Chains A and B, each alone.
Chain A
């Protein structure tokens, strides 16, 4: 019998494109990946993230479900392979007889290059499949809920597959941009940035008649602020320039400066990584979104900052923001003519709403400090996290070891700590 090498000498070469188009891709994922007990722990496995899920995401979700009498909560998410956000929200909503129908974007598979990345991405997808199936079989989510292997950013590209699916899905009750990275970072290449996706979400939600929620979790650091920062600055300045001081005063109080010094904060406050940066970012984003929604004459809406938390992932000082906005469509406005014949850009209500965003930021809650100061809270967060990890097939012993080895940095933040036990303080 001819050896493989001898046979190959007489054979015709097939291009790799031809090979792929006939045979598909080779299996690169280890076959047992996605089945074995997991032990790859990541920042969102810390108990502090559970506080965001439970106290912010789930608590606001269930309030929306009750207020709007929803039997199905339509949810746009960026889920990890564990689907923890979906589970926590869905379990809470289930108590009100409401199922979650989600559309997820998981870019871990998209754009992979080498064999290692492909293996990791397919393993991730396999784990996600199981987590999705468990949620579905348990009856927490609808059968039509699905996670796509696409970047959320792609919804901002006209004609993209992601955009087509988003449009076909209809409006959402909650949009959760759990970025884990920087919302305001400048995009690289042709693909738009995450901030463009947020804008696209607002465009997609137009025409909606009932309130909806936008959750934004993002890292904030001075060296990762791109174009969006300029838009935040512009949005803040537009209100500072108005004849009324309602926003100026609220902004000054939130930033802990006098009303005369706010311009300096707006121009210089972005350079230093401290709590003022987090507040500035929160107000800038909130003010920008308010302008975006409120300024739309066809489908105006008001934007409120419903909850704002911060915590630590990489730095000694808080570097993650968890913000929740409530967007409430309002009655269509009749354009008011001005002297020049144009239209008033900022109706008088807007600065008042913007001031409320700033007032809310004063109450920014440092979750790490809450955990350090409230043992019961910490214990509850750990227990809930362990339960999630168990359902998701993690090795709990190894998790406890990991948690001990990777102790949290002591909070150095001077952010105000909540005096009372943590609860949603909703303006």
Chain B
């Protein structure tokens, strides 16, 4: 037998007395006669801990919807539809055409919150997992859920809800009416404190109703009365109230109050209703009518693309648009759900991208000091096909599942992953195409003992460098476990400590975990337990991959720079430019310095911006009379140098073009003015 690295030499404890019962263990330890005797027991968790999940454990309402979408996936549904009644959010419907819940399954779910039979041998008996694999759904999908709290994620949104569910072939339908208690640790609230430390989370009334539609199946959940604070979050109430306050201040001539409110109206939104309730004589009226990026005729499957277009359009006014400037809370929730759900990409899965002039493909080396290898894609070939041909690896993520396609709809919008792989230039000093690094990792952990291994680990991934990542929320790494993700993009790449800040801001990466890591997911599925060995393995592999990418990028950028110099000949650089370049190198290392354009013409200005240059309007920068008296030539050179120095210190990041122009103008006025 091969010796394990960590388990070697451990004694066999199975001969010791075993006392799993609390009373017996206490008696044993209390008995003086047992001094020096070793006893063995097992750690057990209290039911009260899990009871808290029925009161909500998430930070955002989107998380609850994410869990329900995962549940539908696990139930082999082909569609899930969520109707939110936006922007009122009074009653919410969640409907799927999945396997439904039988009397055994529903009973188990209600009486064993946190005791999911998914990924458990019981799941096979109950028919909620594949007969030959407890980690898969009956239809063969990898199960996302595992703890058995997904259904109760709705408690985040409403304390009252109704479940109507039917299993195919059954002559009945089950209706459950659930009322949850607010979790309390005040003994005055629940004098009938429950035995066995099991917290009673609420009351459920159930009825079995005869069904004539024997062959139908599916589950409906109706959230009857959405919690007031959740409604306020969903409808972006705080933002709209501030905007209304500013409008009032302006109409009253109170400029101080108006200027103090910095909140902007989102570019696209679902509208806002100030007075939510109707009465006998007056209807509910939208205070701010919705401004959606699609119209009534736009097909559901094109609406996410319209949403992405709206966000990308924002690059006309800022270099790295942020989602919450463009979208209201509701549309941002659609975005987030699109990112986190096991649905298709807006345009194409990165592994299905065809050969084009927009990117070069590399295969990531799994050796600690290895370098990525350029993959020569043939005409008409996809990433998946090229990798299979050159490296004999079949990338599986994004391939059709045996359980069929899966679509999620919210209020007529079909969710899609809002990530696009379109090249965006970072200026002529940088690369003229994107870099797509793809890899697979399946580390051999057989030399680690079962107790410490945390199970097997297998993943596929890509790391994509682009001149600009739009929106900035798509910068970083996103980890999908079994197709779903709770966490958003992590821009630190698992805390990667490097000085490559500019390059890291130009990377979108996704890791598709095929096996393992989910034990490292915290209960809200939105963050990882960093002490889990799988997290460390994934982080280590990713950071090596990123390093391979940045090395390759440096090489290519240097080569491009040299070529450009040759073409430009012995171009004389002014002392000012040299100084600015030196500052840039000191701050940013080998990163290409940004192209700076100062022009008064709007056409070239927009063109330069679309190519990723730092382009500013001379009309605004030199609008001051004082500055206008300064010598034109030196002024231009100094302005360009100033912009480059500010960029070297990342001062211009995340500022709109207008703000950048105002900042440069203000500094120039101080130093170049009279």
Instruction: Give A contacts to B, CB under 8 Å.
Output: 1, 20-25, 27, 31-32, 34-36, 110-111, 113, 122, 125-126, 129-130, 132-134, 136-139, 143-144, 146, 148-151, 153-154, 157, 159-162, 164, 167-170, 188-191, 390-391, 393
B contact face: mostly helix, strand, loop, or mixed: loop
Please tell me if B146 contacts chain A, counting CB pairs below 8 Å: no
For the complex of A and B, 8 pairs with smallest distance between CB atoms: A189-B281, A154-B283, A143-B81, A133-B220, A133-B164, A138-B213, A111-B280, A161-B284
Whether B177 contacts A34 by the Cβ 8 Å rule is: yes
Whether A161 contacts B285 by the Cβ 8 Å rule is: yes
Q: List, in ascending order, chain A residues with CB within 8 A of B177's CB.
A: 31-32, 34-35, 126
A134 to B205, CA, bound (A): 18
Q: Kindly report which residue of chain A lies nearest to residue B282, judged by CB atoms.
A: A190
A151 to B285, CA, bound (A): 12
Whether B282 contacts A136 by the Cβ 8 Å rule is: no
In the assembled complex, the CB of A259 is this many whole angstroms from the nearest CB of chain B, namely 45
Q: List, in ascending order, chain B residues with CB within 8 A of A36's CB.
A: 207
Please tell me if B370 contacts chain A, counting CB pairs below 8 Å: no
Q: List, in ascending order, chain A residues with CB within 8 A of B320's CB.
A: none
Among the listed B218, B283, B409, which residue makes an inter-chain contact with A151, where contact means beta carbons less than 8 Å apart?
A: B283
A132 to B220, CA, bound (A): 9
A150 to B283, CA, bound (A): 8
Whether B175 contacts A130 by the Cβ 8 Å rule is: yes
Q: List, in ascending order, chain A residues with CB within 8 A of B228's CB.
A: 20-24
Among the listed B164, B229, B284, which residue makes an inter-chain contact with A154, where contact means beta carbons less than 8 Å apart?
A: B284
Among the listed A23, A25, A133, A161, which residue makes an inter-chain contact with B273, where contact means beta carbons less than 8 Å apart?
A: A161
Q: Are A139 and B216 CB-contacts (below 8 A) given A160-B283, A168-B412?
A: yes
A24 to B91, CA, bound (A): 13
Q: Are A137 and B218 CB-contacts (below 8 A) given A143-B81, A161-B285, A391-B212?
A: yes
Please tell me if B225 contacts chain A, counting CB pairs below 8 Å: yes
Among the listed B206, B212, B296, which residue makes an inter-chain contact with A167, where contact means beta carbons less than 8 Å apart?
A: B296
Q: List, in ascending order, chain A residues with CB within 8 A of B100's CB.
A: 137
Q: List, in ascending order, chain B residues with CB within 8 A of A25's CB.
A: 225
Please tell me if B324 contacts chain A, counting CB pairs below 8 Å: no
Contact digits for B211-245, partner A, Cβ 8 Å, 1 yes 0 no: 11100111010101101110000000000000000
Please tell me if B85 contacts chain A, counting CB pairs below 8 Å: yes
Q: Kindly report which residue of chain A lies nearest to residue B212, judged by CB atoms.
A: A391
Q: Kindly report which residue of chain A lies nearest to residue B87, judged by CB atoms.
A: A161
Q: Select the residue from B95, B100, B212 with max chain A CB neighbours within 10 A.
A: B95
A132 to B222, CA, bound (A): 11
A426 to B212, CA, bound (A): 34
A393 to B207, CA, bound (A): 11
Q: List, in ascending order, chain B residues with CB within 8 A of A143's CB.
A: 79, 81, 95, 97, 409
Among the listed A129, A150, A168, which residue makes an inter-chain contact with B284, where contact means beta carbons less than 8 Å apart?
A: A150
In the assembled complex, the CB of B273 is this many whole angstroms from the nearest CB of chain A, namely 6
Whether B173 contacts A137 by the Cβ 8 Å rule is: yes
Q: List, in ascending order, chain A residues with CB within 8 A of B271's CB.
A: 164
In the assembled complex, the CB of A297 is this many whole angstroms from the nearest CB of chain B, namely 24
Q: List, in ascending order, chain B residues with CB within 8 A of A31's CB.
A: 177, 179, 203, 205
Whether A137 contacts B164 by the Cβ 8 Å rule is: yes
Q: Kindly report which residue of chain B lies nearest to residue A113, judged by CB atoms.
A: B280
Please tell me if B570 contacts chain A, counting CB pairs below 8 Å: no
Whether B218 contacts A136 by the Cβ 8 Å rule is: yes
Q: Are A162 and B412 CB-contacts (below 8 A) given A27-B179, A125-B91, A149-B90?
A: no
A116 to B273, CA, bound (A): 27
Among the listed A132, A153, A168, which residue makes an inter-chain contact with B296, where contact means beta carbons less than 8 Å apart?
A: A168
**New contact pairs (12) apart from A132-B220, A137-B173, A190-B281, CB-CB < 8 Å:** A24-B228, A36-B207, A129-B220, A133-B222, A134-B211, A137-B213, A150-B278, A154-B284, A160-B284, A160-B285, A170-B297, A390-B210
Please tell me if B289 contacts chain A, counting CB pairs below 8 Å: yes
Q: Are A129 and B285 CB-contacts (below 8 A) given A111-B279, A139-B216?
A: no
In the assembled complex, the CB of B331 is this many whole angstroms from the nearest CB of chain A, namely 15
Q: List, in ascending order, chain A residues with CB within 8 A of B384's CB.
A: none
A130 to B207, CA, bound (A): 12
Q: Kindly report which residue of chain A lies nearest to residue B88, judged by CB atoms.
A: A161
Q: Are A144 and B162 CB-contacts (below 8 A) given A125-B224, A159-B289, A191-B283?
A: no
Please tell me if B286 contacts chain A, counting CB pairs below 8 Å: yes
- Considering the complex, which residues of chain B in the window 68-102 have a beta carbon less than 8 Å from any beta carbon of chain A? 79, 81, 83, 85, 87-88, 90-91, 93, 95, 97, 100
Please tell me if B166 contacts chain A, counting CB pairs below 8 Å: yes
Q: Kindly report which residue of chain A lies nearest to residue B95, judged by CB atoms.
A: A143
Please tell me if B160 contacts chain A, counting CB pairs below 8 Å: yes
Whether B216 contacts A138 by the Cβ 8 Å rule is: yes
Q: Are A161 and B283 CB-contacts (below 8 A) given A31-B177, A129-B162?
A: yes
Q: List, in ascending order, chain B residues with CB within 8 A of A126's CB.
A: 162, 177, 224
Whether A27 contacts B160 by the Cβ 8 Å rule is: yes
- Considering the complex, which residues of chain B in the window 153-185 have a beta carbon less than 8 Å from any beta carbon of chain A? 159-160, 162, 164, 166, 173, 175, 177, 179
Whether A162 contacts B283 by the Cβ 8 Å rule is: yes
Q: List, in ascending order, chain A residues with CB within 8 A of B164's CB.
A: 129-130, 133-134, 137
Among the listed A122, A136, A153, which residue makes an inter-chain contact with B95, where contact means beta carbons less than 8 Å apart?
A: A136
A393 to B173, CA, bound (A): 12
Q: List, in ascending order, chain A residues with CB within 8 A of B46's CB.
A: none
Q: List, in ascending order, chain A residues with CB within 8 A of B283's CB.
A: 150-151, 153-154, 157, 160-162, 191
Q: List, in ascending order, chain B residues with CB within 8 A of A144's CB.
A: 81, 83, 409, 412
Q: Are A137 and B217 CB-contacts (below 8 A) given A160-B285, A161-B285?
A: yes
Please tell me if B107 contacts chain A, counting CB pairs below 8 Å: no
Contact digits for B253-295, partner A, Cβ 8 Å, 1 yes 0 no: 0000000000000000001010000111111111001100000
In the assembled complex, the CB of A168 is this many whole angstroms from the nearest CB of chain B, namely 5
Q: List, in ascending order, chain A residues with CB within 8 A of B402's CB.
A: none
Please tell me if B209 contacts chain A, counting CB pairs below 8 Å: yes
Q: Kindly report which residue of chain B lies nearest to residue A32, judged by CB atoms.
A: B205
A136 to B426, CA, bound (A): 51
Q: List, in ascending order, chain B residues with CB within 8 A of A170's CB.
A: 296-297
A21 to B277, CA, bound (A): 13
Q: Kindly report which residue of chain A lies nearest to residue B288, judged by CB atoms.
A: A159
Whether B225 contacts A24 by the Cβ 8 Å rule is: yes
A149 to B203, CA, bound (A): 26
Whether B83 contacts A191 by the Cβ 8 Å rule is: no
Whether B91 contacts A149 by the Cβ 8 Å rule is: yes
Q: Select the residue from B90, B179, B216, B284 with max chain A CB neighbours within 10 A.
A: B284
A121 to B83, CA, bound (A): 20
A183 to B74, CA, bound (A): 49
A23 to B158, CA, bound (A): 11
Q: List, in ascending order, chain B residues with CB within 8 A of A139's CB.
A: 213, 216
Whether B179 contacts A137 by the Cβ 8 Å rule is: no
Whether A24 contacts B159 by the Cβ 8 Å rule is: yes
Whether A129 contacts B222 by the Cβ 8 Å rule is: yes
Q: List, in ascending order, chain A residues with CB within 8 A of B222's CB.
A: 129, 133
Whether B220 contacts A136 by the Cβ 8 Å rule is: yes
Q: Kindly report which residue of chain A lies nearest to residue B270, judged by CB atoms.
A: A164
Q: List, in ascending order, chain B residues with CB within 8 A of A189's CB.
A: 280-282
Q: Kindly report which residue of chain A lies nearest to residue B294, judged by CB atoms.
A: A168
Whether A134 contacts B173 by the Cβ 8 Å rule is: yes
In the assembled complex, the CB of A128 is this many whole angstroms from the nearest CB of chain B, namely 9
A25 to B90, CA, bound (A): 12
In the assembled complex, the CB of B84 is this many whole angstroms from the nearest CB of chain A, namely 10
- What are 11 sample pairs from A and B whose C-beta atoms fall under 8 A apart? A1-B188, A31-B177, A134-B164, A137-B97, A137-B100, A150-B278, A157-B285, A159-B289, A161-B285, A164-B289, A168-B296
A167 to B85, CA, bound (A): 14
In the assembled complex, the CB of A2 is this many whole angstroms from the nearest CB of chain B, namely 9
Q: Are A146 and B286 CB-contacts (below 8 A) given A22-B228, A129-B222, A161-B88?
A: no
Whether A137 contacts B216 by the Cβ 8 Å rule is: yes
Contact digits for B537-572, partner A, Cβ 8 Å, 1 yes 0 no: 000000000000000000000000000000000000
A31 to B220, CA, bound (A): 19
Q: List, in ascending order, chain B residues with CB within 8 A of A32's CB.
A: 177, 205
A150 to B212, CA, bound (A): 31
A170 to B297, CA, bound (A): 8
A328 to B296, CA, bound (A): 23
